[in-house]
Amino acid sequence: MTAEKKTEKDFLGRGSRGHRKTLLSARAAGMLAAVLALAAVPVPAVCSGNMALTASAASGSEVVQTSSGTADKTKASDGGAGSGQASAGTEKVTLRIANWEEYIDEGDWDEEEAIDLDDENSTVILGENSMIEDFENWYLENYGVEVNVEYSTFGSNEDLYNQLTLGNDFDLVCPSEYMFMKLIAENRLQPLSDSFFDEDTEFNYYVRGVSDYIRNIYDSNTINGEPWSRYAAGYMWGTTGIVYNPEEISEEEASHWAILADPKYKGQVTIKDNVRDSYFAALGILNEEELLDPEILNAQDRLERITETMNRTDEETVAAAEEILKQMKENAYSFESDSGKADMVTGKVLANYQWSGDAVYTLDQAEIDDYYLAYAVPEESTNIWFDGWVMLKDGIAGDAAKQQAAEAFINFMSRPDNVVRNMYYIGYTSVIAGGDSDIIYAYADWCYGAEEDAEDTIEYPVGFFFSGDNTDSDYVITAEADQVNRQLFAQYPPQDVLERAVVMQYFDQENNQRINQMWVNVRCFNLASLSWQDWAKIGAGVVVVLAAVVLFLKRDDILRKR
């Protein structure tokens, strides 16, 4: 990686990528100027043009240049390349996709943003069109079927669920793991077809490229005896942890959930405004002693045991967590779902409960202003999360052509060059390791590899993810030393973090109700929490108001006497 590249990336801030809107509004706030804020609202540009890949492209990828727009149907089906897959007729397919906001490459990169991976094939990656447009063209070219993608976004898993309950709106959605677990349990998902898992099919990028580490998790986690992987194909993944300012907070302090309730940092930490993440942190504090017990730390089945601990939902645990969350509420700067990143970057808070992808974004943003933050994953346990593609039974409704398009979309998103585009644009870590393609590792190296003349460097193994073997010397990034608790650490956590990375199960109806009631208890104003001083103040206020009213009503008498 050359110096120019790094500066360029830092400056453009696309390293973090995706969240540009948030960033701009945060900056504008700093300027205190509504006018500036207005001027800073980005205008999303829709660009038309050709395929993203400019140079000789991914190994084994069949990049085709298509003229965008409407090729007529007959020509399309004639010209379909021999994909080996049955084309489901010439009917136009409509695919309704819902994804998180800002969670896909929307294209329109500047020329200077082209990622020159500098690998053997000197791959250059540039997001010219939106990913959706590229998919439509690619599908037409390779499957000979015109597909029309209706792409929408959602802001939370719960929003998505409510929308799914209200109507049959989508065919393919990308919720987090607990939500697709819930959907599997409710029998609302369409299983992936057998052909999707055929490694010999040219376009099956997902099954060939997905990291063994992730594949194993998707295979071994089950709902009613069925593995996730029967229904879900991964998209992005990460951990949860603490972004902190290393000048004020030591790494040791940031590496325990207890920092979120530590009176020493009153008003200096933010927590997540959603019940699952906050409950997880509360469990981490509640069970700290147990989780850090040397006996458990050294146990062979440590991960299984802490998974059990961190998934407790019995009444006693929930009640204890409620007390901890109340302390956290008293102690926190804010419960946030988005504002925390800006508050961290502007220095309003010292520590911040974050998902790893957003942590990378926060660190990148702070770096632009020469402000260096770090990311820590609590020693007790971290919640490993996944966003995955699942097809809805109601949406697909047995339509083979639609299912083929949906699965092709997943594969297209898993094509190594597209993976890099998405990762670059949104800043999260893809579940795809690349399989026979080295592009994704090259990209990780491009992002985090140290300059040749850098002095203080470390060898950072990422083999667990790319080849399934952490000692694999082919997958060791020589990074600058501070990356060990910064972006690289957040994007590709080391093995010891993964040994305490717990999958948090979805809550069934009963537990959901109990835990949400607990959350409402935490957030609501409780009359019993008022002290007698508070009551006295309220009483005084009421007396003053009553006096004013009486004065007003009796004003005639009073004035007359004068």
Partner 1 sequence: MMKNIRFSRKQLCIPYALFLICFVVLPLAVIVYYAFSDGSGRFTLANLLNFFTNGNTIGTLCYSLVIAAVVTLVCLLVAYPVAYVLARSSLKRGPVILMLFILPMWINFTLRVTALKEILTVLEGNLSLHPFLNTVIAMTYDYLPFMILPLYTTLLQLDESLLEAAADLGAGPAAVFSRVTLPLSMPGIISGITMTFLPAMTNYVILDMIYNSTYIMGSLIGSYFNIYDWNNGSMISLILFGVICIVTLITGRGDQNNAENRGAIL
Residues that bind partner 1 (CB under 8 A): 25, 28-30, 32-34, 37-38, 156, 158, 161-162, 165, 267-268, 273, 275, 329, 332-336, 339, 348, 512-513, 516, 519-521, 523-528, 538, 545, 552, 555-556, 559
Spatial contact of 359 and 8, defined as CB atoms under 8 Å apart: no
Measured CA to CA in angstroms, residue 389 lies from 237, 357, 369, 407 at distances of 12, 18, 36, 9
CB of 534 to partner 1, least distance (A): 11
CB of 279 to partner 1, least distance (A): 13
- Please check whether residue 128 is in contact with residue 51, taking contact to mean a CB–CB distance below 8 angstroms: yes
Residue 34 or 400: which CB sits closer to partner 1?
Answer: 34
Number of C-beta neighbours around residue 195 at 10 A: 15
Number of helices followed by number of strands (H, E) in the chain: 27, 20
Q: Which is nearer to partner 1, 186 or 451 (CB)?
A: 186
Specify burial of residue 329 (Cβ count, 10 A radius: 0-12, 13-18, 19+): middle
* Helix, strand, coil abundance in the chain, percent, nearest 5: 50, 15, 35
Nearest approach in angstroms of CB 134 to partner 1 is 34
In the complex with partner 1, the residue whose CB is nearer, 38 or 45, is 38
Helical H segments across 348-438, by residue range: 356-368, 393-396, 400-413, 416-426
The C-alpha angle 449, 453, 458, rounded to 5 degrees, equals 45
Using the minimum distance from each CB to partner 1, give the nearer residue, 67 or 516.
516
Nearest CA-CA partner of 2 in 126, 117, 124: 117
The residue (of 335 and 492) whose beta carbon lies closer to partner 1 is: 335
Q: How far is the CB of 36 from partner 1 (least distance, A)?
A: 10
Radius of gyration of the chain (CA): 26
Terminus-to-terminus CA distance in the chain, angstroms?
A: 88
Give the residue with the Cβ less far from partner 1, 126 or 269.
269
Rounded least distance, CB 416 to partner 1, Å: 37
Least distance to partner 1 from the beta carbon of 515, Å? Answer: 9
Give dist(CA 61, CA 64) in Å, integer: 9
Q: Which is nearer to partner 1, 66 or 274 (CB)?
A: 274
Query: What's the closest the beta carbon of residue 554 comes to partner 1, in angstroms?
Result: 10
Q: Which is nearer to partner 1, 45 or 524 (CB)?
A: 524
- In the complex, what is the shortest distance from the CB of residue 180 to partner 1, in angstroms, rounded to a whole number? 16
C-beta contacts of 72-77 below 8 A and 24+ residues apart: 73/146, 76/140, 76/144, 76/145, 76/146, 77/144, 77/145
Q: Where are the alpha helices (DSSP H) in 258-314?
A: 275-286, 288-291, 294-297, 302-310
How far apart CA 251 and CA 246 sit, in angstroms, is 7
Least distance to partner 1, CB of residue 384, Å? 23
Q: Of 485, 475, 479, nearest to 459 (Cα)? A: 479
Q: Which C-beta is closer to partner 1: that of 156 or that of 311?
A: 156
Joined together, the tokens standing for residue 148 give 């029309």
Q: What's the closest the beta carbon of residue 325 comes to partner 1, in angstroms?
A: 11
Residue appearing with tokens 């439509």: 136
Q: Is 61 helix (H, G, I), strand (E, B) or coil?
A: coil
CA distance 185 to 162: 16
| Closest CB to partner 1 among residues 56, 513 | 513
Dig out the tokens for 473 from the structure: 């010397």
Q: Which is nearer to partner 1, 350 or 501 (CB)?
A: 350
Nearer to partner 1 by Cβ, of 325 and 376: the residue is: 325
Which tokens sit at 226? 């069925």
CB nearer partner 1, residue 220 or residue 516: 516
DSSP states along 87-125: P--SPPEEEEEEEETT-S------GGG-EE--STT--EE
Distance of closest approach, residue 393 Cβ to partner 1, in angstroms: 19
Rounded to the nearest whole angstrom, what is the least distance from the CB of residue 544 to partner 1 in the complex? 10
Question: Is 268 within 8 Å of 464 (Cβ atoms)?
Answer: no
Smallest separation, CB 558 to partner 1 (Å):
9
The answer to whether 474 touches 464, Cβ cutoff 8 Å, is no
